A and B are shown apart, each in its own frame.
Chain A
Amino acid sequence: MKPHLMLVDDATDQVYLMQMLLKTIDPEIRTVSASTGDEALKILQDETKILPRVVLLDLKLAGKTGLEVLKELKKDPRLKRVPVCIFSNADLEADICEAYDLGANFYFKKPIGLIELKKFIEYFVGIWFRYASFCTR
C-alpha cells in the first residue's frame, strides 16, 4: 500500500482543493484529513492505523491550535518521528520560530493563486514521496 499524506485544516474546501490537485499530480497518493486538532490526534494515536508519511498542518484551527497539536505529537514517543510541515496563511515570525522550536520539519506559507498552489504540491509530493528517507522503527 502506498504511503499517505495527512491534511489538517479547518477549511474543508481547502482540503478538497488539495485532494483534487493531488489527484492530478499522483493519483496513487492517498490522503487522510482532519478538520480539528483533536480529530487529527485521535487518528494518529490509533495504533491499528498506519502512520502517514507526512502531516501538513494548518496553524489556525478551531479548538486546539496547530502549534498545540504539534507539541503533543512531538511528546508522543510513537508519533514524534512523523514529519510535520506547517502550512499557514500567516507568517508571523514568532509563530515560525515557535514551530521550529517545537520540532516542525518545515514552515510553509500558503501560496497565493492556483498555479502557485499546484506548483507547491508538486514539489512537496516530490520531496516527501520520492526523495526523502524515513525512519521506519
Chain B
Amino acid sequence: MILSVSSIFRAINSLMPERRLLGSFLFTFVCIFALSGVVVYVGYNLQSITNSIVHTGNVIKQVERVEFQMKDLESMNWGYIATGDKAFLTSPELLTMISNSLSSLERLVDKDSSLREKVGQLRAKVETRLKFAERTLEIANTLGPIPALKRMKERVGLKLNEEIREISQSIIKEQETKLEEERIERDKKMEQLLALILIGIVGIFVILFYSYVRLRAQIQNLSLADQKKLRAVNSLQNIVDTVRDPLLILEGDLTVISAGRSFYETFNLSQDQTEKKFIYELGEREWDIPEFRKLLGEVLSKKDELSDFEVTNIFPQMGQKTWLVSARRMSSGIPGLPRILVSLKDITERTSAENRVKRANLELNILKGELEERVENRTQELLKSEGFLKLAVRAAKLGLFDHDIVNDKIYWTDEMQTICGFLPKAPLSLPEFLKRIHQDDREKVAKAIFDCFDPEGNGFYSMEHRIVFSDGTVHWASMKAQAYFAGEGKERRAVRSVGVILDITDRKRAEGLIQQALESLAREKAKLEESNKGLERFASIAAHDLRAPIRSMGLWVDMLEQYMPKPLPSELENAIQFLKLNAVKSAALIEDLLEVAKVKYSDIIVETVDLNKMVQQVLWTLKPDLENTKAQLKIGKLPSIEGNPCQLESVFGNLLRNALTYRDKTRAVEISIDCNETEQGYEFAVKDNGIGIDPEFKDRIFEMFERLHTDDDYPGTGIGLALCKNIVEGWGGKIGVTSVLGKGSSIFFNYPKKAINLERKSA
C-alpha cells in the first residue's frame, strides 16, 4: 500500500515537477476521499434501517399468515362437521403450512426476546387449538357429526381462535408501531444522506475550482519562468552582440551555437557559415590548432576557464593577426551539457608595439651617447656666454641675489648695492634685509617671501615695494625670485632662492603723477555731471511748472478774442493775434522740452519693440496732419528690436513730423521709411520729397533750437531733430542727412544691435 502510494506520488511528481502543484493535488484527493467515506457511512446506516423495516414487515406478514391459516382451519372444521364432506377435512398440507409459518416466525423473532415470548404464547395456543381440532375430528369420525357439532358449539375452538387473534393482533400492532418509527428514522437518514451528497457535490466543485485556479496560476508561473529563460537567452545574445570583442558560444562538442555580431564582422563570416559548425571548421580552418583544441577539451572536463591563449595565424583579408583567446565554461541549463563562452581579443598591435618598444630602446641608447656629447659642447658654449650675461646684467642695472635659506644668508651682486643703496659687504640674513624695507610694505613682502618658500606652492614671487635708503630717501624696487626645494614628502623644504631686483623709482613716480591727474579728472567729471544733472532736473521742473501758466495764457487770449466787442481797431486785433501766436509757440516749446525730459530722464525700460506696430501708432497720432496733406506713405518691412519704446517713438515721431512740416506745398507729399539690416545693427532712413536742405546748413539742423526757416513759413521749435540726434547718439549710433535742395531729403540713422546705454542701464 505504502509502496503503491509512494509510487503514485512519484508518478505525480514526475508529471508535475512543481511541489506546490502536488500539494494541491493531494489536498483535493484527501477531501474527496473523506467525503465519500462519510457518504458510505450514512448509506450503510440507511441500509440497516431498511433491513430492519423489511424484517418488521415480514414479522407482521407471518403473524397474519398464521392467523389466516388458523381461520382456514376453523372454517374447514366447520365445513366438514356441517356437510360431512371429506373434502373439508383438514389437509395435512395446511398443518404443515401452519407449522412452517410458525417456525419461520420463530426464526424471524429469534433475536427479539419479548417477541419470542409472545410468539411462544401464540404457538402454545395454536397447538392447543390444533389438538382441539384433532379431537373434534376424532369425535366426528368416531361418534358422528352430532357430538362433534355439539362440541363445536361449545365454542372452545372459537375462543382459542379469539385468543390467537388477540395475541397476533398485539404483535402486529407492536410491530406496526415499530415500523412507523423505523420509517421516520429512515426518512431522516435519507434526508441526511441527500444533504451530505449535496454538500459533497458543492465541496467537490469548490475544491475543483480551487485546484483549477491554483493550477492556472502554476501554469502561468511556469510560462513566466519560460519567458524569463527566453529573455535570459535573448539578453545573453544581446550581450554577445554588444561586446566589441568577437565572442563565440560553443556547445560541449565544440560546435558553435551562436556568435556575436562583432565576430561576424571581424572574420567576415555569415551566420550560416558559423552556426552549428565545429569551431575548427570555421573559415579556412584557421582555428584548427591541436593545442587549442586540447585546451578547450580541458575547459570542458577539468578546468573552468582558459585564459590568454595566443593564436597567431594568417586570416583571409586580415593578414597575420594575433588573437588572445579566453574561454570559460558556463551552464547551459541542461545538466551534463556545459557550454563554453569564447572571447577573442586582437592583440596584433600590442605584439607589434612590444617589438617597437624593443627597437626604440636600442635607438635610445644610441641617442644617449649623442646627447652626452652634445651636453659637453653646450657646457663649453655656456662658459663663454656667462661673460656676456654679466655685461647684460650690468647694463640693465639688474641686481642679482642668491639666498641660502638653510643658513639664512643672502649674497648679492654689486648692482644690488646701487639699487638698495645700503648693503654692507658681508652677507645679510632675511630679517636684516626686511628691516630695510619701507614699514608699510614690510609685512606684505615678508608674507610673499614665506609663501614662496612653501613646498606646496610654485616657489615663485614677484613684488613691487619701497626701500628706505640710509639717507632716509624712499626708492621703489621690483623684485622677482624663484625658490628651489630639496627632500621628499614631509622633509621637502626650500633650500635656496635666486632672484633679481630692479630699481623702478622713476616709473613709480610717473605712475603716481598719472594717478593724481586721473583722480582729479574724475573728481572734475563727477562735479560736472552732478551740476549737469542738477541743470537738467531744473529744466525739467521749470518746464513742468511753466506749462500750466502758458496754457492758461493761451486760453485767456482766446477769451479776449471772443469777448472783445467787434469790430476791433486793427492795432488791438494785431496785438491779440501776436499774443495768441506767442502763446501757442511757447506752449509748443514747453511740450517739446517736456518730451526731451521724458525721453532722456525717465527710467529706461528695455523691451522688444515691434517697429511696424510702433510706426503705425505714431502715424495714428499724426492722423490729422496726414489727412490734411494727403501724404503718400511707403513703409518697408521693419524689424522687432530690443529697445526703449519711448525713445524709439520719439525718434520716428519727430522724423515723420519733420517730413510733414517741411513739405513742398506745390506737390503731393511722399514719405517712405526703409530699413537695412547689417552685421552691426539696423540702418533706417526716413525719406521725403519736401523742400530739402541747403548743404551749407546740413549740420545745423541737428543743433538744439536751430531753425532754418521762420515760423511764418514752417512752424517749429528747433528741438525735434536735436532730440533725435541726442537719442541716437545715446545708443552709440549716428544720424545724418542727405538732401537735394528743392527735391527732398533723407534722414538716416542706425541702431546698433548692442545699443550702448541701453545695455548699461538695463544691467
Chain A positions near chain B (C-beta within 8 angstroms) = 11, 13-14, 17, 20, 60, 89-90, 92, 110, 112-115, 117
Contacts and interface: CB of A to CB of B under 8 A. Distances in A.
B559 A112 contact: no
Given A11-B549, A11-B552, 13 more contacts: A13-B556, A14-B552, A60-B544, A60-B548, A89-B547, A89-B551, A110-B551, A112-B551, A112-B587, A113-B555, A114-B555, A114-B562, A115-B558
A112 B548 CA distance: 10
A67 B598 CA distance: 20
11 contacts: A11-B549, A13-B552, A14-B552, A20-B559, A60-B544, A89-B551, A90-B544, A112-B551, A113-B558, A114-B559, A115-B558
The 6 closest A-B pairs by CB, nearest first: A114-B558, A89-B547, A89-B548, A114-B555, A13-B552, A17-B555
Contacts of A13: 552, 556
B643 interface: no
Contacts of A115: 558
Interface string B730-762: 000000000000000000000000000000000
A89 B554 CA distance: 14
Interface string B557-589: 011001000000000000000000000000100
Contact of A113 (B547, B548, B549, B554): B554
B552 A112 contact: no
A14 B548 CA distance: 10
Contacts of A17: 552, 555-556, 559
B647 to A, nearest CB: 14
Interface of B: 544, 547-549, 551-552, 554-556, 558-559, 562, 587, 598
B204 to A, nearest CB: 85
Contacts, number: 33
Give the interface SS of chain B, mostly helix, strand, loop or mixed.
helix
A92 B588 CA distance: 17
Nearest to A17: B555
Contacts of B549: 11
Nearest to B557: A114
Contacts of B562: 114
Contact of A117 (B548, B555, B587, B598): B555
Nearest to A115: B558
A7 B414 CA distance: 95
Given A60-B548, A90-B544, A112 B554 contact: yes
A63 to B, nearest CB: 16
A110 B587 CA distance: 13
A45 B461 CA distance: 80
A14 B551 CA distance: 10
Contacts of B556: 13, 17
A136 B559 CA distance: 38
Contacts of A14: 548, 552
B119 to A, nearest CB: 122
A11 B549 CA distance: 9
Nearest to B598: A92
B199 to A, nearest CB: 85
Contacts of A110: 551
Contacts of A92: 598
Q: Which of A11, A114, A115, A117 has the most CB of B within 10 A?
A: A114
A127 to B, nearest CB: 22
B558 A11 contact: no
Contacts of A112: 551, 554, 587
Contacts of A117: 555
A117 B551 CA distance: 11
B363 to A, nearest CB: 83
A113 B551 CA distance: 8
A115 B555 CA distance: 9
A87 B562 CA distance: 24
Contacts of A113: 554-555, 558
A45 B562 CA distance: 39
A13 B549 CA distance: 10
Q: Which of A90, A110, A113 has the most CB of B within 10 A?
A: A113
B556 to A, nearest CB: 7
Contacts of A90: 544, 547
Nearest to B580: A113
Contacts of B558: 113-115
Contacts of B548: 11, 14, 60, 89
B345 to A, nearest CB: 77
A110 B548 CA distance: 10
Contacts of B544: 60, 90
